[in-house]
Amino acid sequence: MQRALGLPKDQRRAREDELAAQWKDRGYFEPQQLSQDRSKLFGRRLTSDAQGADIGVLVPPYLPLFGKSGDGPPSTSKVAWSQDMLERSEEALEKWGCVLLRSLLTAEDVAQLRTALGLGGVVNPKTGRWEVPKRAAEAGVWQQQHDPNIAMGRYTFGRLHLLLRGSPEYEPAAVSPHASVAPLVHKHFEIQDLAKSPIFLSEAQLVIADPFAELQRWHMDSATGKGLSIFIPLATVAPDRGPQELLPGTHALHDRRLGLRERWRRCLRSLTASHGAVAAASASAAWRAGDALVLDAGTLHRGLANDSLGAPIPILILRYDPKDRAPPGCRRSWLLTMTGLGRLLSSVFRLYAWV
Q: What would the pLDDT profile of 33-65 be if each residue is shown by its tens digit?
A: 544 555 566 777 889 888 888 776 667 666 554
- State how far the Cα of 95 lies from the Cα of 67, in Å rounded to an integer: 38
Residue 23 lies in a domain: no
pLDDT score at 328 = 85
Which residues make Cβ contacts (< 8 Å) with residue 174, sequence separation at least 6?
Answer: 117, 164, 165, 204, 205, 206, 316, 318
- When divided into structural domains, the chain yields a total of 1
pLDDT score at 68 = 44
Residue 156 lies in a domain: yes
What CATH number is associated with residue 76?
A: 2.60.120.620
Residue 168 lies in a domain: yes
Residue 334 lies in a domain: yes
pLDDT score at 30 = 59
pLDDT score at 253 = 94
Residue 9 lies in a domain: no
Determine if residue 299 is left, alpha or beta; phi over 0 gives left, psi from -120 to 50 gives alpha, anything else beta: beta
**Cβ of 195: how many Cβ atoms within 10 Å?**
17
Q: What angle do CA 93, 98, 101 make, to 5 degrees?
A: 100
CA 218 to chain centre: 17
pLDDT score at 57 = 63
- pLDDT digits over 216-227, tens only? 999 999 988 789
Q: What is the DSSP letter of 160?
A: E
CB 65 within 8 A of CB 168: no
User: Residue 290 sits in which domain range?
Assistant: 46-354
pTM: predicted TM-score of the whole model, two decimal places? 0.87
How many CA within 13 A on the CB side of residue 189?
Answer: 30
pLDDT score at 15 = 76
CB 171 within 8 A of CB 144: no
pLDDT score at 61 = 65
Helical H segments across 147-259, by residue range: 171-174, 178-191
Residue 187 lies in a domain: yes
pLDDT score at 93 = 95
Which residues make Cβ contacts (< 8 Å) with residue 178, sequence separation at least 6?
Answer: 59, 62, 63, 185, 201, 318
CB 28 within 8 A of CB 182: no
Task: Provide the residue type at 14 as one letter.
Answer: A
Residue 341 lies in a domain: yes
Query: Phi and psi for 330 in degrees, rounded to 5?
Result: -160, 170
Residue 279 lies in a domain: yes
Q: What is the pLDDT along the chain (355 residues), one digit of tens a residue?
A: 334 445 677 777 787 777 777 766 766 555 555 445 555 667 778 898 888 887 766 676 665 544 444 444 556 887 888 889 999 999 999 999 999 999 999 999 999 999 999 999 888 777 788 889 999 999 999 999 999 999 999 999 999 999 998 888 898 899 899 989 989 998 898 877 665 677 888 999 999 999 999 999 999 999 887 899 999 999 999 999 999 999 999 999 998 888 999 999 999 999 999 999 999 999 889 999 999 999 999 999 999 999 988 889 999 999 999 888 878 888 889 999 999 999 999 999 988 777 6
